[in-house]
Amino acid sequence: MDRELKHDVVILGAGLAGLRAAVEISRRLGGQVDIGIVSKVQLMRAHSVCAEGGTAAVLRTDLGDSQELHAWDTVKGSDFLADQDVVRTFVETIPKEIRQLDHWGIPWTRDAEGYIAQRPFGGHSYPRATLAADKTGFFEMQTLYDQLQRYRNFTRYDEFFVTDILVHDGRFAGLVGLDTGSGETVAIRGKALLIASGGGGCLYGFTTYSQTVTGDGMAMAYRAGLPLEDMEFLQFHPTGLVPNGILMTEACRGEGGYLRNNTGERFMEKYAPKLVELAPRDMVSRAETEEILAGRGFKTPDGQDYLELDLTHLGADRINTRLPLIREVTIKFLGIDPITKPIPIRPVAHYSMGGIETDINGLTRIAGIWAAGEAACVSLHGGNRLGSNSTAECLVWGGITGREIAAALPGLGTAAALPAEKARGAEDHVRQVLARRGGENLYELRRQLRETMDSCVGVFRNGNDLARALKLIQELRVRSQQAPVADQSRIYNSNLIHALELENLVDLAEVTVAGALKRQESRGAHARRDFAVRDDANWLKHTLAFHTGTGPQLEYKSVTVDMWQPVERKY
């Protein structure tokens, strides 16, 4: 080990959840706590800056919205797989977070009367997506980082790739990883760890995710002994820009945009006559896929048939005021101005509803380890997340885990000793990856993995495709051992990082597909052609995947249902 460092609290991930937790810990302890913030990218390049459309919160009860209504929308949107006590905590907490950000100086968009502006989002029965134009995540990140500057109790470890979470005597001991700038192998000890490292959408080729979002925190937690929950539920956003997958925010439809097929028809009227384009994302993505499969999409030479997102009727003023980023992106990437022409879109891999199992306060099964944000599964989203609930979740559980860690620190004693054997094992693993020989190409393997997920584990699934995908993923794991790392240097070795990321992606793909194959029903984002209906009698339960030497071991636990019993989901 080249270096060993120590902090009271280690935060893995520097997006919304990680920064919100760092601020909360710091202010509760008056800055008298030593925090290490570890990020695989430069801090303000966390994927949270890509969140565009809004953050859901009940702010206008005087105009008819209510926390009960937000809770009902979330539970119904989840296809009744969300834990309802978690939903209750969420809707009660997020309005305070919105007002706190306002107090901290975020430039929320305002309406004509000066109130914080909100717009409609899919599956919500009231316009409660709180917005900062169409750059909401970016401004939330800026505001939190600005607030963190009030304290001098944190150390940033940017461009630091963590390879292992170490556990000793049943509690968190430390992280081991690569300082990519120096090439050193570094251990970071701590009393407490917050995993806030984001989702795993780069399992797919057509995705809205930054290419750095490879589910590393989830995969490491899985290998460290923590179960992953509900990983078969991966959200497909209805509007990914063709051909590159860049997110065309749901705010496009919240502001009144239409979805059209190749005949010009607003086809959502057939699938969700009440909410049309503002139905939940799983329903809109399935409707789009049905339209494309029926031949009503626009053809492309590479088979990436698309539909159109039409904003032209909104007018230049509204687009330039409320959707400026969307216009900028479509002009820069496609030469299309949405003021005058529709935008080509199709469903795109977007969000992990599943993640590291936690309790309602973000605590995992290992003492000293919490998880928050998209990396965690506190079970707010269940089978399908409503748009604008994601940034809200990051803020709520960033704050909650920050509070819990601050309260727990006095009882955690000193940082545990690093288990020498495991630390050496983590270091040796990197050497073994660098020593690989063979004729495989790790980039070709990564392409095949993502192609397999795109073709077999997409919007619609069936048992044969899932079984084939599982077999291919297991073969890719074996073949990856014959994929050499051509670059043998240690400084900024992206070749080595890609090899380690591939291992994480393969682990997550295996868990995702194994869970999907086992779940013989259709619920939320998990839609099976061979089991086309929701089966509450047998499948109203959460999937838990535990790591073993031969693949995931699947177990199940009950859903908390203490407000509303499941009913048929209609919009």
For residue 442, CA distances in Å to 136, 323, 503 come to: 36, 39, 10
Annotated catalytic residue within 20, 47, 189, 237: 237
Phi-psi group of 423: left, alpha or beta (phi > 0 → left; psi -120 to 50 → alpha; rest → beta)? alpha
Residues 6+ apart with CB under 8 A from 224: 164, 165, 166, 167, 366
Residue with tokens 């965690």: 376
Tokens of 106: 């975020």
Tell me the C-alpha distance between 44 and 63, whole Å.
36
Tell me the C-alpha distance between 449 and 462, whole Å.
18
| Bridge partners, 369 (sequence order) | 193
For residue 128, CA distances in Å to 21, 70, 251 come to: 24, 9, 12
Rounded to an integer, what is the distance from CA 390 to the centroid of its chain? Answer: 8
Tell me the C-alpha distance between 502 and 508, whole Å.
10
* CB 287, CB 272: distance < 8 Å: yes
Nearest Cα neighbor of 472 from 499, 454, 495 is 454
Tell me the C-alpha distance between 221 and 495, whole Å.
23
Name the H helices within 9-135.
16-28, 67-77, 84-104
HSE (side-chain half, CA atoms, 13 Å) at 463: 7
Alpha-carbon torsion (201, 222, 48, 56), positive or negative:
positive
Tell me the C-alpha distance between 147 and 339, whole Å.
37
* CB 166, CB 174: distance < 8 Å: yes
Tell me the C-alpha distance between 66 and 147, whole Å.
30
168 as an active site residue: the answer is no
237 as an active site residue: the answer is yes
With 0-12 / 13-18 / 19 or more C-beta atoms within 10 angstroms meaning exposed / middle / buried, residue 410 is exposed
Biggest alpha carbon distance in the chain?
A: 67
Annotated catalytic residue within 88, 253, 477, 526: 253
Number of neighbouring beta carbons within 10 Å of residue 295: 10
Helix, strand and coil in the chain, % to nearest 5: 40, 20, 40
Strands of the sheet containing 118-119, edge to edge, are 55-56, 129-130, 118-119
Tell me the C-alpha distance between 302 and 228, whole Å.
35
Q: Which residues are catalytic?
A: 237, 253
